[in-house]
Amino acid sequence: MRERLITYKYPIISIMKKFITIVLLLVSAITLNSCNDEKTASSETVIYQCPMKCEGEKTYSKEGSCPVCKMDILALSKKNSEKIPTDEISDNSIFNLTSTWNTEEGKSIELIDLKGKTLVMVMIYTTCKAACPRLVADMRNIEKQVPKDLLSDINFVLISIDPETDTPKRLKEFAIENHMDGEQWTFLQGTKNSVREFANVLAVKYKQISPMDFSHSNIISIFNPQGELVHQQEGLGVDNKETISKIIKTSKLTN
């Protein structure tokens, strides 16, 4: 009987030792990860700065607005809660639309070819004498207020709601006439169906009221580089501070 006790005693002790060792290793790993997480969280300092740099490189430790231009100051380091852009296209992206468009340069593209840049979009027509010139002025005003170093990450897109009149040649002439012929500007001519489809996506309403005249909504829309709507500005000559702030913030998230 004594020999049997001795025979089974040592395997049990060996198993217990291994179990205790594994438990200690797991506790150590969890503790180490917890410490690293706390260190990372505590070491991340978010600082803010005016997107227009009205006060040069001056920064702030809290959210607020610039005392000079009153624009919202933006975080220079991304918060953990920020949505980081990916290469995936969500169900809400305009890049799911497969329609073909002609640019003012005579190129044929799909909307997904615009992927990778912040998109500032508006629907107009070149023969408009009332609202469209003001929308165009708003677009130019927004473009002028965006920091120059971000313009390469932004595409200002004007879509014609009168594709029969606004051919690529006419759109090119219009771009030159309005000093919107730079690389950051794109004009698009679609078909009646593709224009109607895209207008529905933007919640833009338009109606032809005469052979050369349309009534339409006055909306400027901002899309992130994945083609998801992030902001809309409605009206003519409105305060575009929030729009510009959103464009800058969206563009900085891609850098």
Radius of gyration for the alpha carbons in the chain, expressed in angstroms and rounded:
28
Q: Around Cβ 251, how many Cβ atoms within 10 Å?
A: 23
Task: Tell me, yes or no, whether 156 lies in a domain.
Answer: yes
Please state the domain count of the chain.
1
Task: Tell me, yes or no, whether 54 lies in a domain.
Answer: no
Domain of 180: which CATH number?
3.40.30.10
Give the burial class of 201: count Cβ atoms within 10 A of its Cβ; 0-12 exposed, 13-18 middle, 19 or more buried.
Answer: middle
Which residues in 83-108 are b (16+ Cβ under 10 Å) and which e? eeeeeeeeeebbbeeeeebbbbeeee
Task: Tell me, yes or no, whether 1 lies in a domain.
Answer: no
Bridge-based pairing state of the strands 229-234 and 108-110? unpaired
Task: Tell me, yes or no, whether 95 lies in a domain.
Answer: yes
CB of 229 within 8 A of CB of 214?
no
Task: Tell me, yes or no, whether 77 lies in a domain.
Answer: no
Task: Identify the domain containing residue 145 by its residue range.
Answer: 84-252
Task: Tell me, yes or no, whether 88 lies in a domain.
Answer: yes
Task: Tell me, yes or no, whether 206 lies in a domain.
Answer: yes
pLDDT value of position 38: 45
pLDDT value of position 77: 47
pLDDT value of position 39: 43
Tell me the pLDDT of the chain (255 aa) as tens digits: 444 444 444 455 555 555 566 655 555 555 555 445 444 444 456 777 776 566 666 777 777 887 776 667 777 644 333 444 456 789 999 999 999 999 999 999 999 999 999 999 999 999 999 899 999 999 999 999 999 999 999 999 999 999 999 999 999 999 999 999 999 999 999 999 999 999 998 889 988 888 778 888 899 999 999 999 999 999 888 899 999 999 999 998 765
